[in-house]
Structure formats: C-alpha cells, structure tokens
Chain A
Amino acid sequence: MVDLRLYLAQRISALVMVPLVFGHLILMIYAVQNGFSADEILARTKGSLGWGLYYGLFVFAVTIHGAIGLRAILFEWFGLNKTLLNSISWAVGLVMLALGIRAVIAVVL
C-alpha cells in the first residue's frame, strides 16, 4: 500500500529530520548545563526567526514522516481500505501539524 511517491516523501522527510534530531539533542545537552528553566529556553527562542524555522521545518518533516508510517502500520495490522487509510493518515497528520505549529509559535512569538 506504499507507492513510490509516499515512499519518497517518507525517506526525504527522514533525511531532513536526521540533522534536526542531532541538533535538537545537542541543544538539549547544552541547554541544561547551567540548570534548566523555562525562562532560559524562552530567552533563546523568543523572537528568533532561526529557531522558528528550525522547529517549524522539524514539525513539518515529522508530520509527513509520521503520517505515512502510521498509514503503513494501519494497513498491515488492520487491513483498512485505501479511503479509510488516507482519511486517518491525513487527519492524524493535520492534528500533529496543528499541535506542532502551535508549540513552535508558543516558544518563538
């Protein structure tokens, strides 16, 4: 049930995520060096176009990657038909996108 376009979208979104995941992990280690507070994080992210784009891209890639992955699992485990698969994957993807963008806006704006 995975055609060429879905396959490529999932692989390309994975390629995008790899450096972002490492950047995020490094940032987490760096951020807790002098204690860990919301103020410190927000001081770094508020008004930052760079961090906004970084995590915005991250959210976008996760949404594509996760929705396609979930679609494959739903098909293989539960044998759902294509209409149902596409509906659920789009719905879950859009919810993930909305929650992710909301979180990015919250720490950047």
Chain B
Amino acid sequence: MSQSKELLQVSVRRGTEDESGLSTYEVPQQESQTILDVVTWIQRHREPSLSYRFACRVGMCGSCAMMVNGEPRWTCRTHVQKVLRDGRLRIEPLRNLPVIRDLVCDMTEFFDKWTRAKGVFEPTETRDDEFAAIKPSDPKRMQANAAIECINCAVCYAACDTVNLNRAYLGPAALNRAWTLANDDRDGAYYDRLAAVSESDGCMNCHSHQSCMTYCPNELNPTASIAGLKRLASLAYLKGKL
C-alpha cells in the first residue's frame, strides 16, 4: 500500500454529553483508508485517551458507527475518499443517543426499544418437535428475509428525524426487527407484538422520511418494514384483534 504525503484535516468531537468540543488532527492519507483507520491512527499516534468502539473491522458487528461529516456511517467500511470534503473530515458520536465519552454512545435506550418492540422470538414448538417446514419461496419468508440482515449498528436510528423529534419513538431498527418476526410463521406472539409496536410511540409515528433506508449500510429498507407493520396492525385492529 502506497503512503501518500497528503494530510487529512480531521476534527474529532471529544468530551461528554454535557461538555464537548472539536479537536483537530492531521492524519496522513493512505490508499483504501477507512474512517476507522483514521480514528485508530489518531488514538495510536496522537491521542491515546481517545475513546471509540469497534470490534470486527469487516462490517459484521455493528459497533463502529459514527457521524462522519454530519452523516451516520459504519466507519470500518466507509472509505475516506468517499466522504472527504475539501480534505476535511468531521467525526462525531452517533446522533440521537447519549454520549458516554468522545465517540462512544450509550446504546441502552436503543436496545431497550428492541425489547419494547418485542424483538425476541417467541417459539411455538419445542426441541422435541419436528423442524418447521418453511419454503424459501413463501411470500412471508421472503419479506422477512429482505429485512433480516440487520447488524444493530444504529446508523438508521441516528439518521431518523422522527427519533430526533421524539426520543421515545421506537425507531427503525427495533421496528424492522418486529417486522421480521411478524412474518415468521414459527413465532407465537403475533398480536402481542403488533400491539406493542402500535402504542403511542410506535410505528404509527413514522413519517416515511426514508433516512433509515438511505443510510442503512446493509441496504435494508426499514421504512418499508414500518409501513408493513402499520398495515398489519391496522388490519388486526379493524378485525377486532387489537
């Protein structure tokens, strides 16, 4: 890999929820460099106390998401060249979540909402039963499959303007998870889940801005999942099931 002499001007938000500021660093630009590479370089060479979160570095674990030049990104798979503006980068913690320190957010409320949206599979059979036979071509299975590759990175949650306006709103990730389970024939909590997701801070608050879809690094479409939940919950209500 060739080393370029170009220097990136990188501003990183440091501090806590109550008190923070931007610190600027000059980072040598390299070929195929990712945002996570830049943050790691700063921690190793300039600021050993810089806090940030990552694990797999290959876009699977969903732990390294940050705001880059004002937009939420999975930093391990975001190339500097793709997001650089006039040789500058601004790296900040994810929007819509409390900051613990520097680039690290408290993900508690994000995952609590998965629980509130009944994101846990409720089995209807035991290990002693036969495997459930579900064809890959089953329409419900196909809808679940289209939404299932979520890595819980919270990029959609940071992108969502509805979460920004109403911090109690369940958000795209939790609702997308509920949608996959609502389409799972093996699950036994269909109406309970629809009731949970259509409470006053649930799926009905989505304005379909589609920021979740625009920024989802796995190219999922949580807006469509939420629209699906609205449809299922409305039908269940009109049938007197909710």
- Which residues of chain A have a CB within 8 Å of any CB of chain B? 1-8, 11, 72, 75-77
Q: Among B15-23, B113-121, B181-189, B194-202, which stretch is in contact with chain A?
A: B194-202
> Which of A7, A72, A76 is within 8 Å of B234, CB to CB?
A7
Please give the distance in Å from B209's CB to the nearest CB on chain A.
12
Residue of A nearest to B195 (CB): A4
Check A3–B198 contact: CB distance below 8 A: yes
Q: How far is the CA of A3 from the CA of B202 in the complex (A)?
A: 7
Please give the distance in Å from A86's CB to the nearest CB on chain B.
11
Check A8–B234 contact: CB distance below 8 A: yes
Please give the distance in Å from A2's CB to the nearest CB on chain B.
5
| Residue numbers in B under 8 Å from A11 (CB-CB) | 234
Count A/B pairs, Cβ under 8 Å: 34
CB interface residues, B 159-211, toward A, < 8 Å: 162, 165-166, 198-202, 204-205
- Chain A to chain B contacts (Cβ below 8 Å), 5 pairs: A1-B205, A4-B233, A7-B198, A7-B234, A8-B238
* B contacts with A, residue count (CB < 8 A): 16
Additional pairs, 9, CB under 8 Å, beyond known A6-B204, A8-B234, A8-B237: A1-B200, A1-B201, A1-B205, A2-B200, A2-B204, A2-B205, A76-B165, A76-B166, A77-B165
| Residue numbers in A under 8 Å from B200 (CB-CB) | 1-3
Check A4–B201 contact: CB distance below 8 A: no
Asked whether any CB of chain A lies closer than 8 Å to the CB of B95, the reply is no
Q: How far is the CA of A10 from the CA of B238 in the complex (A)?
A: 14
Residue of A nearest to B167 (CB): A79
| Residue numbers in B under 8 Å from A6 (CB-CB) | 204
Asked whether any CB of chain A lies closer than 8 Å to the CB of B7, the reply is no
Please give the distance in Å from A61's CB to the nearest CB on chain B.
18
Check A7–B230 contact: CB distance below 8 A: yes
Check B204–A7 contact: CB distance below 8 A: yes
Residue of A nearest to B234 (CB): A8
| Residue numbers in A under 8 Å from B242 (CB-CB) | 4
Please give the distance in Å from A30's CB to the nearest CB on chain B.
35
Task: Give the interface centre of A1, A2, A72, A76 by most chain B CB atoms within 10 Å.
Answer: A2
Check B233–A75 contact: CB distance below 8 A: no
Residue of A nearest to B200 (CB): A3
| Residue numbers in B under 8 Å from A72 (CB-CB) | 205
